[in-house]
Amino acid sequence: MNLKNNKSKTAKTAEARKGKLLSTLKNQGLTIYNDLENGKFPQFSIPSRSVSNIVYDKKLRQYILGNSSAVRSARNMSQLRSYTQLSWLAFFVNRLVKEGKSSTLRDIYYSSQAFEIDFEDQPESDNIIVDLEALLSFPREDFHIFPEERSSVFGDLTIEYTVPGYEGRRVNLSDHPDGYLIGPSLSSAELIDTSAELVIAIEKGGLFTRFVEEKVHKKFKAIIVDTAGQAPRSTRSLLKRLNTELGLPVVILADGDVYGEHIAMVIKSGSANAAHLRELTVPDAKWLGVWATDIEKYKLPTIPMTESDIKRIYDLQKDPRYQEGNWKTQLEVFLKIKRKAELEAFSKYGLTNITDKYLPEKLELSKSF
């Protein structure tokens, strides 16, 4: 892959997004400012996030919000408080982004108290953050607001930081054998150069380490991403950028159960919780396994499903994305065998069985679907 040519196109993407966000914020500010000046009650029109307004878009291949929206007005006495909270958050995010500082969801809850904005509890402030995401159509990571959970990435990828104090500094993500945390600085970094031809997202930290030890990144020319269970949004955002900015295909390895299957699905086509956001999905991502059919094929040791596992299968069978193809087939097989296998199950046949045998076979197979 010729990255030299790509660079001019991809570089400064992060910078551009930041500029777009700041101007959107400023426009919102100006509108409200003028309303106040003219003795008019300002209002926000926020896309509704109620269940009835969440629909699956087959063309975009992800969940999106429908057309209905809710008006939050400063005129309405019962909305005045949350209106003020939302305008405070816009103001605070503007500062965060301009000053290049990051904060956590919890930080936001506490920061509000310095401005006489009283959130009753953190869920209330978290909710206002989602409102702002929906209003501006930017994910909170762009606001420099991050959840506590972190996942990691390893591989031959050079990035250039944009966070204050590190601007312009470059780092190669194969320099540290434990990998790099996908945190605020990595999320806002520019992707510069890579020799990789593939991204492997894997559900578990233990196997992530095994893959590094077994030099999977070299053998398969891969960037390895540990999703640490259900992939956090910053991780999904990175996978999306690796896919679109660097043109790398993404494959997913997760436990052989209904949750593993859904981890792959969320990376591919998003979650209902984040239906108000785009840019978080990798529609071409491929689910390598572990499939229900692999359990039999590779004679993996299994454990029985719990009742909640089975209930989850029934739930997912109602989801429009599970109505056809391999996704549907695998759910049916899971339901039939009522047993599951973890990624570690391959260790029965030796610690390197998964990297030496299973992974190459599945990668070969994936070319055909």
Partner 1 sequence: MSLTKETFSQISPSEFFYRNRDLAGFSNPTRSLYTSVREFVENALDACDQKKILPDIHLSIKAVDPEQPDPKPYILSVKDNGPGIEPKHVPLAFGTVLYGSKFGLKQARGMFGLGATMAILYGQITTNKPVIVKSCADGKTQDEFVMLLDIQKNKPVIQKHTTKEASKTGLVVSIVLEGDYSKAGTKIRDYVSQTSLITPYASITFEDPSGEKFHFPRIVKEMPPPPTIIKPHPHGIDVETIRRMIVDTHYQIPIVDNNMIIKVRSELGLQKKNLNSKGIMERAQKKWSGLSRPVRTVVAMMSFLNLDFDGLSKIRIDDLDIANKKLVYWNFGESKSHVVELDSESPYYKQLANTVQGDTLHAFLTKRFQRVGPTTADKFCEFAKFKSEKRIGSMTNEELVKLADALQKFEEFLSPDPSCLAPLGEEPLSKGIMKFFNPEFASVIQRSASAYSGFPFVVEMGVAYGGDIPPAGLKVYRFANRIPLLYDEGSDVVLKIVNEMDWSRYKIKGDPPLVIVSHICSTRIPYKTVGKENVADRPEIERELKNALQYLARKLAVHMSRQGMADMAKKRANLYSKYIPLIAQFVTELSANKKEPNYKQLIKKGSELEEQQI
User: Applying CB under 8 A, which residues contact partner 1?
Assistant: 25-26, 28-30, 32-34, 36-37, 39-42, 74-75, 77, 80-81, 83-84, 87-88, 90-91, 94-95, 115-117
Count of CB atoms situated within 10 Å of the CB of 304: 9
CA distance 189 to 12: 9
| CB closer to partner 1, 37 vs 324 | 37
CA distances from 178 to 153, 160, 287 (A): 9, 19, 24
Q: How far is the CB of 95 from partner 1 (least distance, A)?
A: 8
Distances (CA, A) of 102 to 37, 89, 133, 343: 32, 14, 16, 35
**What is the torsional sign of CA 79, 84, 87, 89?**
negative
Give whichever of 94 and 172 is closer to partner 1, judged by the CB atom: 94
**41 versus 314: smaller Cβ distance to partner 1:** 41
User: CB of 31: closest distance to partner 1 in angstroms?
Assistant: 8
Query: Residue 216: is the preceding peptide bond cis (ω within 30°)?
Result: no
- What minimum distance in Å lies between the beta carbon of 78 and partner 1? 10
Strand order in the sheet with 180-181: 180-181, 152-154, 222-226, 198-202, 250-253, 286-289
Q: Which residues on adjacent β-strands are paired with residue 190?
A: 160
Shortest spacing between CB 26 and partner 1, in angstroms: 6
In the complex, the smallest distance separating the C-beta of residue 190 from partner 1, rounded to whole angstroms, is: 27
Q: Which residue has the tokens 């809710």?
A: 70
CB-nearer residue toward partner 1: 79 or 366: 79
Contact 199, 248 (CB under 8 A): yes
CA distance 34 to 38: 6
Q: Which of 83, 110, 166, 180 is catalytic?
A: 110
- Min dist CB 120 to partner 1, Å, is 12
| 199: CB partners within 8 A, 6+ apart | 222, 223, 224, 225, 239, 242, 243, 248, 249, 250, 251
Determine the Cα–Cα distance for residues 160 and 188; give it in Å rounded to an integer.
9
Tell me whether residue 21 or residue 225 sits nearer to partner 1 (CB atom). 21
Instruction: For residue 63, indicate whether it is catalytic.
Output: no
What residue type is assigned to position 58 of the chain? Answer: K
Query: Which CB, 123 or 283, lies closer to partner 1?
Result: 123
Please give the DSSP secondary-structure letter assigned to residue 356: I
Residue 16 Cβ vs partner 1, minimum distance, rounded to whole Å: 20
Q: Which residues of 176-202 are buried (b: 16+ CB within 10 A; e: fewer)?
A: eeebbebebbbbbbbbbbbebebbbbb
Alpha helices, DSSP H, located in the chain: 3-10, 13-37, 80-99, 105-111, 122-136, 184-187, 205-213, 216-219, 233-244, 258-269, 292-297, 307-317, 325-337, 353, 359-366
- Residue 74 or 225: the one with the smaller Cβ distance to partner 1 is 74
Tell me the catalytic residues.
110
